[in-house]
Amino acid sequence: MNNIVRSFFIFLTLSVAVPGFGQQRSPYRTDFGIDAPITGALIIGTAIGLNGMQKKDGISDGEAFALRRDDVNRFDRFAAGYYSENAKRISDYPFYGSLAAPVALFLLDRDMSKKFGQLGALYIQTLAVTGTLFTSTVALTERSRPLAYNASLDIDQRSNRNSTNSFFAGHTAATATATFFMAKVFNDFHPNSQARPYVWAAAAAVPATVGYLRLRAGKHFLSDNLIGYAVGAGAGILVPHLHKVNRSGKGFSLLPLQGFTPNGYSYSGFSLTRQL
């Protein structure tokens, strides 16, 4: 997932390096004073989660040898022991392609290109939402990947730190974030386009394909992929929708929250409000 984090900064650089031009009306409203701190907090949250992931110890060799398919819930049990290096390799193509696709659309679409800076910043924020949720969840949970149940694999593959990063599926989540964000933006810029059903269909199909390949690769169980898909699709649609211009002037605002409970536990989240 280090590659996804690096992608955040690459796209952030692109969004500020190629400013918007012209006065094309955008369906979105952004405010640097609000959105920049939110995006910054999310990127920091992603980095903190990533640091937590890197500090995980994995499981011992003895624990790996003791893994049994029957210990996996019935819904996911069929995938225990799956492993395919070829499926893992192939999954990277639609994964990386999906991350680049929104940027290509922003540049090629005549209307969107005039708002490249704004859309790039929204894209970074959307990816950062998924990144924070993913890295934080993986850092706090330990679920062995399906491949860890494959007795024919080298013990190092079954017990290393990365082998406990099954929940939830990061590649699937990031892909869904990118494709659904692109479909949502296309939908809002071109509400009368006859291509919208095909764009939404492609947005749904690509992360489903990545999820299937990650399942066959032994990287994630089915439930990991379903959760990742839902998180990514939700972020891809919700973040631009929360920024959509409301003609009544009454819209939503999303702000980060951080603090400590009376028991001393830290918490973080978001405050969603609507002007009445």
Packing angle of the helix pair 222-242, 196-216 (nearest 10 deg): 150
| DSSP secondary structure string for all residues of 67-122 | --GGGS-TTTGGGTT---HHHHHHHHHHHHHHHHHHHHHHHHSHHHHTTHHHHHHH
pLDDT tens-place string over residues 88-142:
999 999 999 999 999 999 999 999 999 999 999 999 999 999 999 999 999 999 9
84: confidence class by pLDDT, cuts 50, 70, 90: very high
Residue pair 186/178 in contact (Cβ under 8 Å)? The answer is: no
262: confidence class by pLDDT, cuts 50, 70, 90: low
Distance from the first to the final alpha carbon of the chain: 40
CA-to-CA separations, 180 to 44, 172, 184, 239, in angstroms, rounded:
24, 12, 6, 11
Beta-carbon contacts of residue 246 (< 8 Å; ≥ 6 apart): none
Q: What are the beta bridge partners of residue 273? A: 253
Q: What is the pLDDT of residue 17?
A: 42
